């Protein structure tokens, strides 16, 4: 049985809504509150499937109720319908900007009320079902990819560690080579675990709050030039191709924490080096654009991706594994896309098989 909370200070309207819902063909359990403060308390206690709230109320108005509920993890995703006689565009826009799902102007008919309630509940159920399907798909991809991805660097670690037990049998160059291999496999395993944990954190934030933006709220200003340059250079050095990187970065300030910007640049540049050959150039150009963004363009002349590959970019998806050995579970581009979405930015990819790939990141610049 679906639970619906009605927050309305006018008794006659409140009773009319309750009677309409309880006498409908659907089985609804209805709770009521005569003001916003009581409504918030009931919502947090009962966790209804839908909330119908007036806008103009004593103690807490509807906007304050919505803000309070959206800031609480337990009630953040409950569908919310506003009731108000002030059904002009300014009020509708204010409610929608705060996260309202619908707006029903007074006076309303019984059919309008029931239709709006039914539609919102159906949309929420469909969203929940879709989210579960997406999580199941990710779970299956993890189940098929994770064992191999962990096993590869672990096997290298164990193998070289065993060989180093007899280090006295090898010359110094061979021992140093083994140590480099141990370190390389350990760093690969570390990046794998960090990406997995970050991806899980982002996806859980999206499921709980309805968007990646909640995870990146209250970010700090970051001077982008040094972070972009040093992050790209560190990746090029890790691939032992420092001379293949060409970097041209214009100074700017972005509303993004340094570690998020660093992560975005590392993943994009890492892909460029991973899928291009030694002695071929990887370019990074970053500058302000005429449309008010800060654009970071990373291009390579590697093997590129097909149209189908681009359409299937997603977590734990890898391309041409049978032909090309890949490291990582395909999380990089998904993490970058989520971080960019959370900062009102975009990621665009164009690629031609056999010719290379261009990734364009557009960051919103503060006025």
Give the tens place of pLDDT for each residue, 65-114.
999 998 888 888 899 998 877 656 666 667 777 778 888 888 888 888 99
Answer yes or no: do 200 and 237 share one domain.
Answer: yes
φ, ψ for residue 247 (rounded to 5)?
A: -125, 130
125, pLDDT greater than 90? no
Q: Which residues pair with 308 in a beta bridge?
A: none
Phi-psi region of 218 (alpha: psi -120 to 50; beta: other; left: phi over 0): left
**Predicted confidence band at 321 (pLDDT cuts at 50, 70, 90)?**
very low
Residue 16 tokens, joined: 């009319």
How many beta carbons lie within 10 A of that of residue 130, not counting itself?
Answer: 10
φ, ψ for residue 137 (rounded to 5)?
A: -65, -45
Provide the pLDDT for residue 278: 92
267, pLDDT greater than 90? yes
Helices and strands in the chain: count of H runs, count of E runs: 10, 12
Q: Which residues pair with 254 in a beta bridge?
A: 222
Answer yes or no: do 211 and 356 share one domain.
Answer: yes
294, pLDDT greater than 90? yes
Q: SS3 helix, strand, coil % of the chain, rounded to 5?
A: 55, 20, 30
Average pLDDT, the chain: 83
Q: Strands (DSSP E) along 85-164, which ranges?
A: 102-105
Q: Is this model's pTM higher than 0.85 or not?
A: no
Instruction: For residue 299, give its domain range.
Output: 132-364
Helix runs in 210-289, H state only: 224-238, 258-274
**For the residues 161-168, what does the mean pLDDT come to?**
89
Answer yes or no: do 311 and 232 share one domain.
Answer: yes
Q: Would you say 69 and 43 are in contact if contact means Cβ atoms under 8 Å apart?
A: yes
Answer yes or no: do 333 and 207 share one domain.
Answer: yes
Provide the pLDDT for residue 216: 65
Provide the pLDDT for residue 219: 60
273, pLDDT greater than 80? yes
- Name residue, tokens 């982008």: 224
**Predicted confidence band at 317 (pLDDT cuts at 50, 70, 90)?**
very low
Answer yes or no: do 77 and 172 share one domain.
Answer: no
Provide the pLDDT for residue 318: 46
**CA dist., res. 298 & res. 191, Å (int):** 21
What digits encode the pLDDT tens for the residues 168-222?
A: 899 999 999 999 989 888 988 888 888 888 877 777 666 655 555 555 655 667 7
Which residue, 76, 108, 140, sits at the end of a domain? Answer: 108
**Exposed/middle/buried for residue 40 (C-beta within 10 Å: 0-12, 13-18, 19+):** buried
Q: In total, how many domains does the chain have? A: 2
Answer yes or no: do 98 and 176 share one domain.
Answer: no
Cα torsion at 67, 334, 127, 137 (round to 10°)? -140
Three-state secondary structure call for residue 133: helix
Provide the pLDDT for residue 179: 92
Of 262 and 213, which is predicted with more confidence?
Answer: 262
**Buried b vs exposed e over 61-98: b needs ≥16 C-beta within 10 Å?**
bbbebbebbbeeeebebbbbbbbbeeeeeebbeebeeb
CA proximity to 267, closest of 356, 345, 354, 198: 198
**CA dist., res. 231 & res. 39, Å (int):** 49
Answer yes or no: do 156 and 33 share one domain.
Answer: no
Answer yes or no: do 93 and 217 share one domain.
Answer: no
Answer yes or no: do 81 and 138 share one domain.
Answer: no
**CA dist., res. 20 & res. 4, Å (int):** 12
Residue 84 tokens, joined: 């108000």
What digits encode the pLDDT tens for the residues 34-74?
A: 999 999 999 999 999 999 998 888 888 888 999 999 888 88
**Buried b vs exposed e over 280-304: b needs ≥16 C-beta within 10 Å?**
eebbbebeeeeeebbbbbbbbbbbb
In a domain, 113, yes or no: no
Answer yes or no: do 16 and 148 share one domain.
Answer: no
The CATH number given to whatever domain includes residue 83 is: 3.40.50.2300
The proportion of the chain whose per-residue pLDDT surpasses 90, expressed as a percent, equals 38
In a domain, 345, yes or no: yes
Among 32-46, 214-228, 307-321, 324-338, top mean pLDDT goes to 32-46
CA proximity to 187, closest of 276, 302, 266, 284: 266
In a domain, 76, yes or no: yes
320, pLDDT greater than 60? no
The CATH number given to whatever domain includes residue 138 is: 3.30.565.10
Q: Strands (DSSP E) along 205-324, which ranges?
A: 221-223, 245-249, 253-255, 282-288, 293-300
Answer yes or no: do 141 and 258 share one domain.
Answer: yes
How many beta carbons lie within 10 A of that of residue 6, not counting itself?
Answer: 27
Provide the pLDDT for residue 88: 60
Q: Which residues pair with 356 in a beta bridge?
A: 352
Q: Which residues pair with 347 in a beta bridge?
A: 361
In a domain, 336, yes or no: yes
In a domain, 318, yes or no: yes
Question: Which range (37-46, 132-141, 253-262) has the least confidence?
Answer: 132-141
Three-state secondary structure call for residue 258: helix
In a domain, 127, yes or no: no
In a domain, 121, yes or no: no
């Amino acid at each position: 049985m679906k639970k619906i909370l009605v927050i309305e200070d006018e008794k006659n309207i409140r009773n009319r809504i309750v009677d309409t819902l309880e006498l409908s063909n659907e089985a609804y359990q209805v709770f009521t509150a005569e003001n916003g403060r009581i409504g918030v308390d009931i919502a947090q206690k009962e966790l209804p499937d839908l909330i119908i709230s007036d806008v103009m109320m004593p103690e807490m108005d509807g906007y304050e109720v919505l803000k309070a509920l959206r800031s609480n993890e337990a009630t953040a995703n409950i569908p919310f319908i506003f009731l108000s006689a002030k059904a002009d565009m300014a009020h509708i826009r204010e409610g929608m900007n705060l996260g309202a799902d619908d707006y029903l102007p007074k006076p309303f008919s019984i059919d309008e009320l029931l239709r709006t309630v039914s539609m919102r509940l159906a949309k929420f159920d469909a969203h929940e079902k879709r989210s579960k399907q997406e999580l199941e798909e990710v779970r299956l991809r993890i189940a098929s990819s994770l064992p191999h991805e962990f096993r590869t660097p672990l096997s290298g670690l164990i193998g070289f560690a065993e060989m180093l037990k007899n280090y006295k049998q090898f010359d110094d160059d061979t021992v140093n080579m083994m140590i480099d291999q141990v370190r390389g496999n350990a760093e690969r395993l570390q990046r794998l675990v960090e990406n997995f944990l970050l991806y899980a954190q982002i996806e859980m934030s999206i499921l709980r709050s309805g968007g990646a933006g909640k995870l990146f709220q209250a970010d700090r200003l970051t001077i982008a030039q040094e972070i972009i340059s040093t992050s790209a250079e560190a990746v090029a050095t890790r691939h032992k191709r420092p001379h293949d990187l060409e970097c041209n970065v214009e100074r700017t300030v972005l509303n993004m924490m340094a570690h998020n910007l660093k992560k975005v640049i590392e993943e994009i540049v890492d892909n460029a080096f991973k899928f291009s050959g030694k002695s071929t150039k990887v370019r990074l150009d970053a500058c302000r654009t005429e449309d008010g963004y800060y654009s970071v363009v990373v291009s390579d002349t590697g093997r590129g991706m097909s149209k189908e590959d681009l359409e299937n970019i997603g977590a734990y998806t890898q391309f041409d594994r049978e032909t090309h050995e890949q490291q990582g579970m395909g999380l990089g581009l998904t993490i970058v896309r989520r971080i960019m979405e959370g900062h009102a930015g975009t990621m665009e990819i164009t690629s031609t098989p056999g010719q290379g790939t261009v990734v364009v990141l557009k960051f919103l610049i503060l006025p």
